Amino acid sequence: MDWFLIGLAALLVLYIFAKKRTDKNVPLINSPIVIAHRGSSGACPENTYSAFDQAVEAGAEMIELDIQLSKDGELMVIHDRLLDRTTNGQGNVADYTRDELLQLDAGAWFDAKFSEEKIPVLQEVLERYNGKIGFLIEVKYPQDQPGIGTKLRTTLQNFLETKEGNHPLIVQSFDDAFLRDFNKMMSNIQLGLLIRKQLSLKEVEHFSTHISYLNPKYTVVTPGFIKIIHKHGMKCFVWTVRSKRIKEIIQKMNVDGIATDYPEWYK
């Protein structure tokens, strides 16, 4: 009888711990999780439906994608400020309306067989992959895009009303000021801060007050730094794995997620 009561007590402790981890959004199930960086961008043009479809097919838990505002205030999925590298357009993304951006070819630069690809609209991406995969949304250049946080809040509020499945939804940026402001807008959304260098203990403590994920470039990751991140109650997504040598190194560390151009490597 005593052993039975001890077992019940242990289960209760585990249940309480699990509940504490679900205060924002959805907890991660697998660790490390595989994050398709701009979709499966090693096999398809980045930030396109082909890349996102391939990521789902490869079994990735999340797709990472980048957003910017069009001239008329629509959230478009594209990485660079300029259109030149990944489309047949020229100039700044912000100088084109949604409809003008949708006329561009966003795939032929990678391979002629992708010439029908268009720049996706964030809302349509969320709808298309709802219930199929998680989303890691990177906000690009927020300091130069007034109103992008408000537009993102509206888009995510609408999405959460119809969200299906147990898939995480995380917003990240290199801009901590934006993340602090967005946390005030949507305190129920988990946030990630992208970093390119190791931080001091004081900096880690500061970010832990509003950040759920501290996401470093693979070149600055060490087991000790990951331990510090975890000690302060945050998780760690490492970016961006593009070689199998780096893949083997990172997999030996206690990271929570790995962003890669090749999610199929982890099947």
Write out pLDDT tens, residues 169-190. 999 999 999 999 999 999 999 9
Structure tokens at 38: 């701009």
Q: How much of the chain, in percent, has pLDDT values that exceed 70? A: 89
What are the catalytic residues? 37, 79
- Does pLDDT of 13 surpass 60? no
Neighbour count for residue 45 (Cβ, 10 Å): 23
Position 168 pLDDT exceeds 70: yes
CA-angle at 64, arms to 148 and 86, nearest 5°: 80
Q: How much is the average pLDDT of 220-243? A: 97
**Is residue 173 within 8 Å of residue 139, measured between CB atoms?**
yes
Q: Write down the pLDDT at residue 4.
A: 43
